[in-house]
Structure 1
């Protein structure tokens, strides 16, 4: 086998220094054309090596390759390690143990891709924000308080129920002490904290530090420590605290779970906000997974029947999820139903319906969302 062939077919990874040494050994008569050919082969080999890593869903196999990963590929290596770890945890936590590996790999990829909120776009403004003077801060706070007061007074008159809910929410999330001087000092502390690029999860400095810490954990063979798990998630996404985890029994948001063993799988996605929270459902078809909707969004017959019992209009919220059971060939679903005026946190109705194919749905029962719901049969 010639030199070039050995490069292509070997388990090949080299760093920049090694490439330079190889090129420096070329004789002077080595033509530019041959050098271009070599560079092309070298680039192809890099791609092959990278693809090899992307196809590995075994944490032990990835550990064995860790020391040969070039520095510019470490971030992707640790993303793949996160995938492999998730894949293995899914296999261990799911109750049904005969899922094809290819199916679970596809499902793992879906979980990861749907929870990838990216590093490329910062939420904050790239221009450095100047710290406000006390006078500017106090004026801005007074203006904010006045606007909030006017808005709440209007809401109290127009929608007392919504007003009560909003005031309880504001009381729970407000970080203001009521003392504008103390609040200003806290504002300055927060400013200095966020000014440090290491405290900005989007910054290049922060990402380099994460890689360095991961390298240290892997060097110590602390593959399964809580610190390593958190660093792997930080390396993947700034929104890491909401990454879903596999469970044997679904009972909360941000979980990966079986809805019906060997038939329907699901996982949650949440950005930390109600509007950014939803469940993804997949139906198993051999070694493939097919995304399905558990809500009758495009079923006009369903809408007509339900509209007889909900006069003001209704909607579904994907963050609510659905309970699904199978009896015979039918899937029976129950979930929350929202009146047109309901806040997304507070559904006023419950509904049950069935389907055979997740395309056509038949409403069965509807009730008020209370401690003792009174069910009405949908006719």
Structure 2
């Protein structure tokens, strides 16, 4: 059975790898630094967008962020219409409501403001505006027409949704998560404004930072990694090790906030070329079953999956050790890979993140293992984790 699963994984990943090589990643316009959100808003008007739909949540409206964007748009000669109905894990109903408002106000473009939920909702609205119901777009490469013009201003640093070709929209009735994957979902422009991040709570900073770190590591060590991916994800990894503890301790550190935002963005770009891996395959199950925030789930799972890779595929992890300056060149790949994994554990500990999941009973391990392995067939992991290895990992994180 293990051989059959391994062979199926090889065939699926091989086929997806061929398809991926022929996909063109759109070029984005990037604004970064203090005040860049206003720059992006003015850029949209300069590009001819006169009636802009802002997709966000009520909290950011209450904080005044939407009003600041409105001022920038109106100063440039455009109009802003605010849809603030986004909730965590956006549903098809939210997309439909946002789309109805987009059409009622005769908008010509969409600007997402918020974390991954707002950006994913905006992607769903932009896609369904030109392609039909969002339910029909769930899957890989099902979006036929260009989206309504889409731009993004992330207010967290971790999901990378502002840079990636994916969106997650849950079915409003079944609550089953639907994954949309298409290069057309990549926003045309992005602003990484650290001034919007200084009030982010410590827990959110830690969890989203762990998410970005997982993206960076999994893309670097995956089988689809190449020179460009390693440049992006290696830079992201170094920036996160250098700056994430700083913004965790001091949320007002604008320079480090910007660095972490760039790291999340670079790691998101790397995903477009290299996908993710086993950590995400497990974390998605924990999120679906127990509502575990994605970054927290990644943080719990990441060190244990990396331990497994140290034994079977240490070379890329050894390279990452050099990227962050741990280990010695005289050591073996195995020793340097181990040093990197320990440094990762130390970083996550500095962020106060959990190491076990209290809501995960050991009785659920077989089901979680089955679903994780099924999802992992789609990912170019450096080592095919056996069912026994996976159960060992899950034993370490369950209560």
For the superposition of Structure 1 and Structure 2, which TM-score range results when normalised by the shorter chain? under 0.3
Work out which structure has the larger RCO, using CA pairs closer than 8 Å and 6 or more positions apart in sequence. 2
* Structure that is richer in helix per residue: 2
- TM-score (structure 1 length as normaliser): 0.23
